């Protein structure tokens, strides 16, 4: 029983790595990077969040460097983009946004879960979960010299924070790890997708 | 007696977090970010320097994630900006620069102090103190896709380095921790404020 | 015998620090930074890769902060630029590119070597070697708000990856550390220099 949450976190982490690698590489297509540039971007986006999480938690070398499966996942994500990009280039932005939301949800779950395993206080487990979720995309945007999504996008960081909060509350209410993770991830994913589709805006400061 | 410097560092750290959160959020107002964007910017500016310091020193999870008071301080700083921004919007840049100088001085003191506690050699304690001081503001500028203050501003990094040097010299001269910290912080603060007001410039390379 | 690879890594690290400090400062001349801005850029470029490597490997405080010789090397590199810049300003870009390639090769060797010492799996030793090599230059470009070289330059990250791969294969074939390092570094250096001079391009994704 002890190892089940750890195994869940591991699968969630690998799935997030795959999705973010694809999504990261797709961001480079618009900026006319070559194949290796796209691969670098795929790796940065896919591994950035998890590496930040592991460094902050003191779990070094980070999983992404200790375990070769992360590199393989990131390579697969980048390769998928190379083969699919003629279709992606013509696809509307929505499917990419949905992939990104799924990656965000997976990393929020893995970050919050790992923070709880390391017994961080609830407020900081939420913060670490959100940092894990938005870290990879923020590195991607910084490398492309853009203002990162997390600062301006409709309910992006909000989704991460609310998803992580949901997961922490579930665990405090003694729900088992797996349903807590599914619930937290679903809330994060749903909020992000609905928020982006409906252009939910938070109040601005003028 | 043993715990007094540690307690001082803690208070200095929390005060710096509060000031930098306010200052970081105020930087986002000009870029027309929404409330959550400002909050993300406030957290990044306020916690960035301390997190870099703790990661470099191997004290993980960093204080800012281990202790919920940092999150509360960062939230208070961001909230203060939301309530005060009508006034801030009309204020000249000088008070913001003074707040920033105070945050810089506090983090230089906390970074240098923690480096000395971990028995880094003097030159590197100075470097770590300066990195702690300028780290949060540099993350803020990178997120806003600007060339960071530390690279171009009048005597910004210089103030941090001289403040940290003053503190290290005081400690080597066997002054107690508290006066050393006050002296180092005051030197950093004064240099930065006077340098900015008088537009002190260092020689350029042409 | 045990200490010889460690000593080699140390010398390689210091040499890379010196070269990257010079190269980092020279990048700031074009952006019209003052002397201290150039020095900050020199330190960031020179120490960034090694600090990232040490943080990821869990060897904290990083060598660059634990050992004062790194700071001295970075200062020497920056000082050399100040004295030589009238000539550098008139020099074509090629010599700077060659210095950068040498720094890249040295840091790829030191990163890969340290990863192997810490018994990371081969694929991840290669990845860590490449991150160490490109880390400092990427920080330099991010600070200057530019899209980093690693994303767009002719065979930049490729050289780092192939150099690191060469070194790992040599070690797996039971070659001693010193020739493995020399071979890996030479491959990285030669690929980067020839690739830049001949404008080798990888296929683009359109």
Judged by a CB distance cut-off of 8 A, whether residue C62 touches chain A is: no
Q: Chains that contact C by 3+ CB pairs under 8 Å?
A: A, B
Chain B residues within 8 A of A138 when measuring between CB atoms:
143
Q: How far is C56 from chain A (nearest CA, A)?
A: 5
Q: Which of C198, C197, C201, C199 is nearest to C92 (CA)?
A: C197
What are the extents of the domains in chain B?
A: 3-198
Report yes or no: A38 and A81 within 8 Å, Cβ to Cβ.
Answer: yes
CB contact under 8 A, C36 and B142: no
Q: Which residue of B has its CA nearest to A138?
A: B143
Q: What is the average pLDDT score of chain A?
A: 86
Mean pLDDT of chain B: 86
Q: Does B69 touch chain A (CB under 8 A)?
A: no
Q: Is the ipTM of this complex over 0.85?
A: no
Chain C partners within 8 Å of A44 (Cβ): none
pLDDT value of position B42: 93
* Closest approach of B191 to chain A, Cα-based (Å): 31
Axis crossing angle, helix B35-57 with helix A35-57, rounded to the nearest 10: 70
Least confident residue range of C39-43, C93-97, C128-132: C93-97
pLDDT at A20 over 70: yes
**In a 3-state reduction of DSSP, which class is residue B29?**
helix
DSSP annotation string for C34-89: BHHHHHHHHHHHHHHHHHHHHHHHT--S-HHHH-HHHHHHHHHHHHHHHHHHHHHH
Chain C residues with CB-CB distance to B205 below 8 A: 28-29, 33-35, 38, 81-82, 85
Kindly report, residue by residue over C100-157, the tens digit of the pLDDT: 899 999 999 999 999 998 888 888 899 999 999 999 999 999 998 888 888 877 688 8
> In this predicted structure, what is the pLDDT of residue B145?
87
**Distance to chain C for B84, nearest Cα, Å:** 31
The predicted structure's pLDDT at residue A90 = 57
Could you report the per-residue pLDDT of C177-197, keeping only the tens digit for each? 889 999 999 999 999 999 888
Which one is predicted more confidently, B94 or C122?
C122
To the nearest whole Å, the CA of A33 is away from the closest chain C CA by: 6
Of B206 and A18, more confident: A18
User: How close does chain A come to B55, measured CA to CA in Å?
Assistant: 7
Contacts of A55 in chain C (CB under 8 A): 55-56
Query: Chain A contact for B88, CB < 8 A?
Result: no
A51, A135, A151, A191, best to mutate vs chain B, most B CBs in 10 Å = A151
Residues contacting residue B108 through CB under 8 Å, at least 6 positions apart: B129, B130, B132, B133, B160, B163, B164, B167, B184, B185, B188
Contact criterion met (CB < 8 Å) for A51 and C55:
no
User: Rg of chain B over CA atoms, in angstroms?
Assistant: 16
Chain C interface includes B57 (CB < 8 A) = yes
Residues 6+ apart with CB under 8 A from C56: A51, A55, A60, A61, A62, A65, C128, C131
Neighbours of chain B (3+ CB pairs under 8 A): A, C
């Amino acid at each position: 029983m002890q190892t089940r949450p750890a195994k869940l976190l591991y699968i969630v982490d690998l799935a997030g790595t795959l999705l973010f690698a694809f999504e990261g590489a797709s961001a480079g297509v618009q900026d006319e990077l070559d194949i290796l540039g796209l691969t670098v971007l795929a790796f940065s986006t896919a591994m950035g969040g998890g590496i930040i999480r592991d460094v902050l938690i003191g779990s070094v070398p980070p999983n992404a460097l200790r375990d070769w499966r992360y590199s393989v996942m990131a390579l697969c994500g980048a390769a998928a983009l190379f083969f699919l990009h003629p279709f992606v280039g013509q696809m509307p932005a929505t499917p990419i946004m949905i992939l990104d939301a799924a990656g965000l949800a997976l990393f929020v779950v893995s970050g919050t879960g790992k923070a709880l395993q390391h017994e961080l206080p609830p407020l900081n487990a939420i913060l670490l979960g959100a940092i894990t979720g938005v870290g990879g995309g923020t590195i991607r945007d910084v490398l492309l010299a853009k203002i990162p999504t997390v600062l301006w996008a409709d309910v992006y960081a909000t989704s991460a924070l609310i998803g992580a909060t949901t997961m922490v509350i579930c665990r405090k209410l003694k729900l088992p790890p797996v349903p807590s993770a599914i619930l937290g991830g679903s809330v994060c994913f749903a909020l992000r997708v609905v928020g982006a589709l409906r252009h939910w805006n938070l109040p601005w400061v003028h």
